[in-house]
Structure 1
């Protein structure tokens, strides 16, 4: 499976961090991205700061959730990252433009308009970070 993530998230242009949905299951999935040299998130040396990875995971979940809504014929939802829990950064080598990053996301629990989503980000076999996102996803806005 390969789906263009931009079809399922509200982010556009320079703010869009996720390129492709590569796997989708009921409450989990995988997305990929590669930062380009013109990315506003890359410094002069082409290094991407690790805190950007949290937003990348949130957008990854937004893409997966948006895709789910489309295939189920549900209304489009907007979501908001409202917190993080147990975020850990593992590798000390910098992430630079041109590196393909893979994010795996899985819903741990949904309650009312909230979801707790565990995510991890890797480059090849190297785990870069993982943790839990707290998301507010109202039924309507």
Structure 2
């Protein structure tokens, strides 16, 4: 059981928080649950475009990074999605109310740069991609002078 809520792992708030909760995790991977919302933020009351799966993946990668920071006693640092490769999806829309599982597995990480193998499955949905991300070791909230 995870000791942190999803709100404690991500810098997102309100309707931008897309994940429901963490299902499983270890040092290299995480699975999270998401319920596709029909609140009109990214689609309509029937569902959202399937490309939103990339954001589900990115938020799960961020939640994994947030959890690793929490477990190490470090503050949360913002992360950045740098790119998406090998995106594959078998649907054009995700139906509102569908419960999906997002799984991410770290393939490589060095000096804050990482590549994750990601999947979104459930409700006849199969989405996969490789995400390139950057999460610095220290918070980026310093004022630059000169």
* TM-score normalised by length of structure 1: 0.89
1:106 aligned residue: 105
1:118 and 2:117 matched: yes
Structure 2 residues not aligned, in runs of 5+: 141-146
RMSD: 1.7
Once the two structures are TM-superposed, the CA of residue 127 in structure 1 deviates from its matched residue by: 4.4
Within a 5 Å distance, the mapping from 1:1-141 to structure 2 comes to: 1=1, 3-44=4-45, 46-90=46-90, 92=91, 94-123=93-122, 126-140=124-138, 141=140
1:98-123, Cα deviation, whole Å (9 max, x unpaired): 11010010000002121001100001
Instruction: Write the distance in 1 (CA, Å) between the matches of 2:6 and 2:40.
Output: 17
* TM-score normalised by length of structure 2: 0.86
1:13-41, Cα deviation, whole Å (9 max, x unpaired): 11111110010101101000112332512
Which protein has the larger Cα radius of gyration, Structure 1 or Structure 2? 2
Once the two structures are TM-superposed, the CA of residue 93 in structure 1 deviates from its matched residue by: 6.8
Q: Is the 8 A contact 1:42 1:96 kept in 2?
A: no
Instruction: Write the distance in 1 (CA, Å) between the matches of 2:9 and 2:51.
Output: 23
1:24-73, Cα deviation, whole Å (9 max, x unpaired): 101101000112332512324x1210111101100011112111211121
Residue 18 of structure 2: SS of its match in structure 1? Answer: coil
Instruction: Write the distance in 1 (CA, Å) between the matches of 2:39 and 2:89.
Output: 24
Q: Is the 8 A contact 2:49 2:92 kept in 1?
A: no
Q: Is the 8 A contact 1:85 1:131 kept in 2?
A: yes
User: Which stretch of structure 1 is more off in the superposition, 35-44 or 68-77?
Assistant: 35-44
Aligned length: 138
